[in-house]
Amino acid sequence: MKEEISIRDRMYLEMRDKKFFEKVQSYAYEYLQNVFERNVYPTEEALNNLKHFEENLPDDPSNAYEVIELLNKYGAPATVTHVGGRYFGFVNGSVVPAGLAAKSLASYWDQNTAMQVISPVSSKLETVVEKWLTQLFDLSAGTVAGFVSGTSSATFCGLAAARYRLLKRLDWDVNEKGLFNAPKIRIVTSRHAHSTVLKAIGLLGFGKDNIEWVDVDDQGRIIPELVPGLDERTIVVLQAGNVNSGSFDPFEEICEKANAANAWVHIDGAFGLWAGAVDKLKHLTRGIEKANSWAVDGHKTLNTPYDCGIVMCEDKEAIVSALHMTGGYIILSEERDGMFYTPEMSRRARIIELWATMKYLGKKGIEQMVYGLHQRAIQFAEEITKAKGFEVLNDIVFNQVMVSCETDELTERAIKRIQDLRECWVGGSNWNGRKIIRVSVCSWATTPEDITRSVNSFKQALDDINKE
């Protein structure tokens, strides 16, 4: 009777099975070959076929080839083509080829970036990219960066650093004493602050009911004249890129006011901060260097693979103290130990594809790609304005376009019909009491032809509705 092979021996053989990994790569190549022309959203058939994953956990090990085949056959058709050029539903970027390849290579390396001793290459690349980002956004030389999953985590880190610093100035060590009986910290932000900012405020114990809200103008920018008096107990949260209109807060004026009061300014720049890397758009981010911390995503405007978020902070002691980590087994290095700049200790090496993307593009490539998103957004607004039945509600300052129909009901029906057509994909939102179609141009792959095809889909959707 043949002796059953142990799972350890089986995995050892499969890890060295070149044909198996070549098969995986062939599926990946096949996907990329079709991604720009296939339907943007999965078909009903593809969605129904997801039932093939519904099963109890098998008792016995499965064949590795069969596992990957199942993913390719029923998983790939059920994906949304963020990589393509006609996905505008959320602020989801595509992926730069070098970044995608680097992520694939890094997956085989499977690095943990907690400490330099665990992954010297990750430590070095984080050091290099930290410098690149500081230079790209014209921030002070002492600015440090933490590489996290996204802006949600980055904003949490920035506000944690702010909480530590402001309380420390008031002779209160939050790490030792906690928040009970701590001096009260004020939070000032606009009524259009992103939901992730509110999440961070809640998680950090500030309490959303304690926010001092400031009204915005018709484009969603915080009105500087309405910002209350600031002091050394205040955290001000500003926005680079309104999630609907794409507008930017007036940083310079408010930062100067905050600096004079010794308040802390955090900028939520999830997708908009990259405007600071473009000469023709740099006016939008004027004054950001006067803030104290910044949050930005690579996986949005920069088009790195998911997940890739960055927190930057000009106060190294504050962010390291806020995210402190200790343990007798920790082996510190004279070089960078990345865990001190993030909430996590163990992290995947997302820095590898971020470095590869920035290295591949360079300053000029980043500028051309980011400005290209702005150009396509302008094109979309111009073409949809000429289409009967649609109205653009915002100034196109960056990559966001807000479109509406004559009534809220018609707008909602148009969104549903556009989604059903699957030629492009958009989502809905609300703006000043009106339902809107929210168009976020975030993919380097979006061509002028993609925009025209998408606008034609809008037209067809409205024509279909009018014929009903």
pLDDT digits over 194-226, tens only? 999 999 999 999 999 999 999 999 999 999 999
Burial class (CB within 10 angstroms; exposed 0-12, middle 13-18, buried 19+) of 155? buried
Same domain, 112 and 74: no
Among 81, 114, 140, the domain boundary falls at: 81
* Domains of the chain: total: 2
Where residue 288 sits, what CATH number does that domain have?
3.40.640.10
Task: For residues 370-374, give the mean pLDDT.
Answer: 98
What would the DSSP string read from start to end of 58-73?
A: PSSPPPHHHHHHHIII
The last residue of one of the domains, among 300, 329, 358, is 358
* Residue 171, pLDDT score: 97
Q: Are residues 128 and 222 in the same domain?
A: yes
Asked if residue 66 and residue 110 are part of one domain, the reply reads: no
Domain residues for 62? 14-81
Q: What is the pLDDT of residue 211?
A: 98
Answer yes or no: do 56 and 140 share one domain. no
67 and 125 housed in the same domain: no
Residue that is last in its domain, among 50, 81, 112: 81
Per-residue pLDDT tens over the stretch 143-179? 999 999 999 999 999 999 999 999 999 999 999 999 9
Residue 1 pLDDT exceeds 50: no
Q: Say whether both 351 and 259 belong to one domain.
A: yes
- Indicate the pTM of the whole model: 0.95
Tell whether 209 is covered by a domain. yes
Question: Is omega for the bond preceding 9 within 30 degrees of 0, making it cis?
Answer: no
- Is 5 among the domain residues? no
**Token pair of 320 as six digits:** 């390291």
Residue 462 lies in a domain: no
Does a structural domain hold residue 463?
no
**Residue 414, helix vs strand vs coil:** helix
Specify whether 152 is located in the same domain as 245.
Answer: yes
Counting residues of the chain whose pLDDT is more than 90, the rounded percentage is 96
Is the domain of 25 the same as that of 144?
no
Q: What per-residue confidence (pLDDT) applies to 325? A: 72
Q: Say how many C-beta atoms besides its own lie within 10 A of residue 16's C-beta.
A: 9
Kindly state whether residues 55 and 110 are assigned to the same domain: no
> Is the residue at 468 inside a domain?
no
In a domain, 149, yes or no: yes
CB-based contact 297:135 (threshold 8 Å): no
How much is the average pLDDT of 419-448?
97
Asked whether residue 227 carries a pLDDT value surpassing 90, the answer given is: yes
pLDDT at 5 (0 to 100): 86
Residue 2 falls inside a structural domain: no
* pLDDT band with cut points at 50, 70 and 90 for residue 329: confident
